[in-house]
């Protein structure tokens, strides 16, 4: 799988050497909530029959 070219404020950068998140649980706080979970997780299953509405537009979950 090829990585897409990333650009930040007009400057391209290569993320192929970035460190992958660990599956080991770590303590962290996100939006005021305390967690002891790994930062790396598997995506949840999607319900393709679910109709999502965001700012008046309808979206249907699908597999990539």
- Determine the average pLDDT of the residues in 26-34: 91
- Determine the average pLDDT of the residues in 23-40: 88
Given pLDDT bands bounded at 50, 70 and 90, which one contains residue 1? very low
16: left (phi > 0), else alpha (psi -120 to 50), else beta? alpha
Of 37, 42, 40, nearest to 25 (Cα)? Answer: 37
pLDDT for residue 26 is more than 60: yes
pLDDT for residue 3 is more than 70: no
pTM over 0.75: no
């Amino acid at each position: 799988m090829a990585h897409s070219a990333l650009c930040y404020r007009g400057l391209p950068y290569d993320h192929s050497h970035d460190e992958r998140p660990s599956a080991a649980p770590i303590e962290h706080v996100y939006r005021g909530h305390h967690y002891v979970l790994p930062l790396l997780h598997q995506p949840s299953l999607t319900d393709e029959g679910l109709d999502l509405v965001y700012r008046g537009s309808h979206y249907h979950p699908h597999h990539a």
